[in-house]
Amino acid sequence: MEIATSGQELRRMTKALKRPMVLVPTMGALHAGHLALIAKAREVAGPHGTTAVSIFVNPIQFDRASDLAAYPRPLEDDLRACEAAGADLVFAPDAASMYAPDRSVTVTESLLSRGLCGAARPGHFDGVCTVVLKLFLLSGCEAAVFGEKDFQQLAVIRRMVRDLDLPVEIVAHPTVREPDGLAMSSRNVRLSPEQRAAAPAIRRALLQVAETSSTAAEACATARAIIEASGHARIDYLEMVDAETLQPVERVTSPALLAAAVFYGDVRLIDHIRIEP
């Protein structure tokens, strides 16, 4: 497995690598969800292609300095995990090599990124689009794998690829969960034992609502009650949106998503469920 630590180095290395190259962008602290994305990338790359993983805690997508500072960075473990998962190349730059101190160009998606996490975390999706475009350009990947857990991110990136004619195929992978239903996240390790025990309530609430509720207001009230009853939770948002446009809906007349962002202490977790009409 090769390791590049600057964009220049990555560009040099990728010239000699076999195509197609499939990239898995991550912020590290890899868990089984990331590893499933790497396995998917291997499959898409085929027997002769290249699987690349980027590990970069992108400072410009964080809206809270405390979240950025507390983000776990176990790089040695991550490199071992990438190698074991069959990655051919890891790109692990530092922030100084990714961003000039006077950088002044940002990619903005202005529709799908307005609500949900975009509203709760100002500037977040500008940071995501900017870094993902840079990663695509530096790696020259033909395809990239993203998790459905971050469904708004996936929608925003697909829109960026469409609107900027980027020659990259976007491949989605379903959310990977802990046995108790909690969506795997690099932030889960920061939960206290009590918060960790309470957090599966998010998934339980979404599952229950998907089966029972008819209107968005009812669905959100039911989910809120279940999550709050389990304790330790502060709900950031609970919202029902159209699965395609991500605009709020009042009832499910076409495929919809019920999406939740919940704080446990300082740790913000997201999850969602798809609801068919």
Could you list the residues that contact ligand AMP (CB under 6 A)? 26-27, 33-34, 37, 146-147, 149-150, 173, 175-176, 183-186
Closest CA to 67 of 123, 107, 113: 123
CB atoms within 10 A of CB 156: 25
CA 247 to CA 260: how far, in whole Å?
A: 15
CA 9 to CA 22: how far, in whole Å?
A: 18
Minimum Å gap between C-beta 34 and ligand AMP is: 5
Concatenating the DSSP letter of every residue in 90-125 gives EE---HHHHS-TT--------STTSSHHHHHSTTHH
Alpha helices in the chain (DSSP H): 7-15, 32-45, 65-70, 75-85, 95-98, 116-120, 124-139, 151-163, 193-198, 201-212, 216-229
Catalytic annotation, pick one of 31, 34, 48, 232: 34
Which is closer to ligand AMP, CB of 174 or CB of 231? Answer: 174
Minimum Å gap between C-beta 175 and ligand AMP is: 4
Residue type, 98: M
Which is closer to ligand AMP, CB of 182 or CB of 205? Answer: 182
Which is closer to ligand AMP, CB of 156 or CB of 220? Answer: 156
Residue 34 among the catalytic residues: yes
User: Which residue's Cβ has the minimum distance to ligand AMP?
Assistant: 147
Within 8 A by CB and 6+ apart from 66, the residues are 266
Which is closer to ligand AMP, CB of 182 or CB of 220? Answer: 182
Minimum Å gap between C-beta 45 and ligand AMP is: 17
Closest CA to 183 of 205, 208, 200, 204: 200
Minimum Å gap between C-beta 215 and ligand AMP is: 29
Which is closer to ligand AMP, CB of 3 or CB of 176? Answer: 176
CB atoms within 10 A of CB 270: 22
Minimum Å gap between C-beta 79 and ligand AMP is: 15
Which of the residues are catalytic?
34
